Chain A
Amino acid sequence: MAKLKDLSKKQELLSGGHRACAGCAHPIAIRQILMAANMPVVIGCATGCLEVTTTIFPYTAWKVPFIHSAFENSAATVSGVETAYRALKKRGKLDKDIKFIALGGDGGTYDIGFQSLSGAMERGHNMIYICLDNGAYMNTGIQRSSATPKGAHTTTSPAGKVIPGKREFRKDMTSCMIAHNIPYIAQAVPSMWNDLVTKVQKAIAVDGPAFINILVPCRLGWGYPPEDTIEIGREAITSCYWPLYEVENGKYKITHAIKEKTSIADWMKKQVRFKHLFNPGNESILEEIQARIDQDWERLNELCKM
């Protein structure tokens, strides 16, 4: 198990001076990912909040090699980098061991980049794909994605007079990746740094593709005070909105046991994007959401027994 005291001795690989919002969870997650890496890494990143805020020319916050090409192709781009690495290594032009990490937001992963991610995982590249899911297209001004939770208000699924926010449940992306039968898949939240660091280290150790879905709370799109980022992430875990689990070679495991499950409504109440759901008449939506979470949680527990 990693200790903060040891991690603090490593070189800081993401500098300050990036332009993420105050309290943004993206850089927190990235710092933990880079802290976890016990070997040189090369990062690829899809267009999105993270890319835009950390690489405004001529300023880059990255102290590791970084490539961004477009929105829907982080996995494809990194598959090219990883292939080049294998080719050059084979030809004796390179001898270092390097790990490749592709990053994408929920838009770049669940939606527009779904195909390129699927292709790269199927081809078996030796890379980790990490989705930083903040539940909407936050970079362009909070538009709905297929990761947006049911009921959430976004600028393209607004809570209107007749439609109370997003009508559909979110896509279960982690399960989609599990169906790819890759060696390692996990869900994490930066609020549990130790769990996240351990998972990244496990993914790095895999010889082949790995996928980690990280929930990154967004104070702007979710609507909460910036200092609450870590707490709101913690409650995403305890409410079972974002259970911490992993699937290692097909074996499911909950990595953080829930002693006392908190209600999803309590979590939602703290976020402006769900405010309208607490108006009279919307009770059934809250019930539906809670029912789905209970059902998913039960199913996950069943899968862990297998």
Chain B
Amino acid sequence: MAKRVAMTGNEAMAEAMRQINPDVVAAYPITPATEIVQIFSSFVADGLIDTEFVNAESEHSAMSACIGSAAAGARTMTSTSSQGLGLMWEMLYIASGLRLPIVMAEVNRALSAPINIHCDHSDTMGARDAGWIQIFSENAQEAYDNMIQAVRIAERVLLPIMVTTDGFIISHGMETMELLSDDEVKGFIGEYKPQHSILDVEHPITVGAIDFTDYYFEHKRQQIEAMNTAIPHIVEIGKEFAQLSGRGYDLIEGYMLEDAKIAIVALGSTVGTARVVVDELRNKGIKAGLLKIRVFRPFPAKEIADVLQHVKTIAVMDRSDGVNGRGGPVFGEILAALYFLIERPIVVNYIYGLGGRDTDMKQIQDVYKYLKIVAAGGLLNDRPAEYLGVRE
């Protein structure tokens, strides 16, 4: 029987970690993810779980310890945010290159400078090409559900995975949500049986060998393929999770998209706000829609093109900027996904919410307003992106 509780995103992620009861967690505290580590260490201290917890002296060492642990065949998790993810950078690529199924609870936060502890997606987006599966959560419920699915996905495709929430907005926002029972989680994730382990002293393997020009490309090609072929596995595990919880998960989630003329594409907590605006517009008879991207890596380009192809004008919402790239990172991906269509929608880019700048309904309404003008053949400027909610 599902249990209804009130929890913050951080509490929900820590609770998922308790129920998963991994072999090893190695982490370092950082705002706004600190609570996840705090709550988790109290679970360990109180004997609620028997995970071995490593209080690393930095995020770099936390990820290094995770790599060692995962290479030893242990179910391994961590948590971080922002600068912490930045300090892990080097090790993120090594974790994925070594094909280690590490699960990370990541709380999206802006990168310094100026130092800022609030939400944007520049940390996670910066890591988008590090070979990690990336799943964005809209709220605490999803953060919890995604964490549980992440274990299965990572261990199935042998790639590391980060589940993200939006700093403070989700991480510290209290919500009512449903929890599975400990047994249900245990049954869903199952037992982890690693293919290889450096603890197998009878069959000594070498992990982390050096490749010259003769093998590096092949190893990378193989890793890319693992990411490409992860898509059906993520879908399948999402369906299985729906059977257990009643909450279905797919790569993307369309809202009022079928007959939409104008639509917004967004990730994370902003989707919730946009959904309300869509309802409002629909009440007024405006054919507005919304596309939520849940899985950003691997990027579900085909699925996105399928659901967006009939939409006239689209605004892609980026909560990070490429700093003089042509628009934000999500924008670039969406354009690439749509490029192969014979008739392409018009796509504009909005950079919003940097450093935790509040994104309210009014701002989202303005975006739809602009889309309407463009859809009606109105002025389309040639700027790479519009900036929403910034003072001139």
Residue from B56, B201, B206, B211 whose CB has the most chain A CB atoms within 10 Å: B206
B199 and A55 form a contact (CB under 8 A): no
Interface residues of B in 184-207 (CB under 8 A from A): 198-201, 204-207
Does B141 lie at the interface of the complex (its beta carbon under 8 Å from any beta carbon of A)? no
Contacting pair A116 B58 (CB below 8 A)? yes
Nearest neighbor of A61 in chain B, beta-carbon distance: B206
- A211 to B334: give the CA distance in the assembly, Å: 53
Q: Which of B46-54, B227-235, B245-253 contacts A (4 or more CB under 8 A)?
A: B46-54
B143 at the interface (CB under 8 A from A): no
Q: 10 new A-B pairs (CB below 8 Å) besides A55-B206, A70-B90, A83-B52?
A: A63-B204, A65-B199, A69-B207, A77-B67, A79-B65, A79-B68, A80-B64, A84-B69, A87-B69, A116-B60
Q: Contacts of A163 on B, CB cut-off 8 Å?
A: none
Most buried by B among A40, A67, A78, A82: A67
Q: Given A87-B51, A90-B50, A91-B23: A122 and B57 within 8 A (CB)? A: yes
Provide the bound-state CA to CA distance between A150 and B71, in Å.
40
Q: Is A28 an interface residue (CB 8 A)?
A: no
Please, how many angstroms separate the alpha-carbon atoms of A83 and B76 in the complex? 10
Q: Is A118 an interface residue (CB 8 A)?
A: yes
Give 4 nearest A-B pairs by CB, closest first.
Answer: A80-B68, A119-B57, A80-B65, A84-B74
A-B CB contact pairs (8 Å), 17 listed: A44-B68, A51-B210, A57-B212, A65-B205, A65-B207, A66-B198, A66-B204, A69-B207, A70-B64, A73-B60, A80-B24, A80-B67, A88-B73, A88-B74, A98-B199, A116-B60, A119-B61
B208 touches A68 (CB 8 A): yes
Q: B198 to chain A: which residues have CB within 8 Å?
A: 42, 65-67, 81
B209 within 8 A of A: yes
Residues on B with beta carbons closer than 8 Å to the beta carbon of A69: 64, 67-68, 91, 94, 98, 207-208
Q: When A and B form their complex, what is the total count of cross-chain residue pairs whose Cβ atoms lie within 8 Å?
A: 167
Residues of A within 8 A of B208 (CB): 51, 55, 66-69
The digit string for A19-54, where 1 denotes a CB below 8 A from any CB of B, is: 000000000000000000000111010000001100
CB distance from A9 to the nearest CB of B (A): 19
Interface size band for B: 35 or more
Cross-chain contact A73 with B26 (CB below 8 angstroms): no
Which B residue sits closest to A39, measured CB to CB? B201
A11 CA to B68 CA, complexed, in Å: 26
**Of the candidates A55, A67, A90, which one forms a contact with B68 in the assembled complex, judged by CB atoms under 8 Å apart?**
A67
A299 within 8 A of B: no
**Interface presence of A10 (CB below 8 A):** no
A58 to B205, CA, bound (A): 11
A76 touches B206 (CB 8 A): no
Whether B340 sits at the interface, judged by CB under 8 Å, is: no
Q: A83-B69, A118-B57, A119-B61 are in contact. Are A88 and B204 (CB under 8 A)?
A: no
Contacts of A77 in B (CB 8 A): 64-65, 67-68
Across the interface, name the chain B residue whose C-beta is closest to A67. B207
Is the CB–CB distance between B209 and A116 below 8 Å? no
Smallest Cβ distance from A49 to chain B, in angstroms? 12
Give the residues from 151 to 207 in chain B that come closer than 8 angstroms, CB to CB, to chain A: 198-201, 204-207
What CA separation (Å) do A251 and B204 show in the bound complex?
Answer: 37
**Contact of A96 with B by CB under 8 A:** yes
Instruction: Identify which of B57, B70, B200, B206 contacts A116 (C-beta below 8 A).
Output: B57
Report yes or no: B76 in contact with A84, Cβ–Cβ below 8 A.
Answer: yes
Closest to B23 in A: A87
B76 cross-chain contacts in A, Cβ below 8 A:
80, 84
Among candidates B65, B73, B206, residue contacting A62 with C-beta atoms closer than 8 Å: B206
Residue of A nearest to B58 (CB): A115
Which residues on the B side are within 8 Å of A78 (C-beta)?
68
Bitwise, B82-108 to A at CB < 8 A (1) or not (0) is: 000000001100100010000000000
Partner of B26 from the list A80, A88, A91, A115 (CB cut-off 8 Å) is A80
Which chain A residue shows the least CB distance to B51? A87
Contact partners of A84 in chain B: CB under 8 A: 23-24, 52, 68-70, 72-74, 76, 199
User: Are A64 and B204 closer than 8 Å at their CB atoms?
Assistant: yes
Q: Does B55 contact A (CB under 8 A)?
A: yes
- A-side contacts of B90, CB under 8 Å: 70
Digitize A185-211: 1 where CB-to-B-CB distance is under 8 Å, 0 elsewhere: 000000000000000000000000000
A residues near B215, Cβ cutoff 8 Å? 57-58
A60 at the interface (CB under 8 A from B): yes
Bound-complex Cα distance A90 to B206 (A)? 25
> Shortest Cβ distance from A209 into chain B, in angstroms?
14
Find chain A residues with CB under 8 A from B94 CB: 69-70
Quote the shortest CB–CB distance from A5 to chain B (angstroms). 26
> Nearest chain-B residue to A40 (Cβ)?
B201
Chain B nearest CB from A197 CB (Å) reads 20
Closest to A102 in B: B68
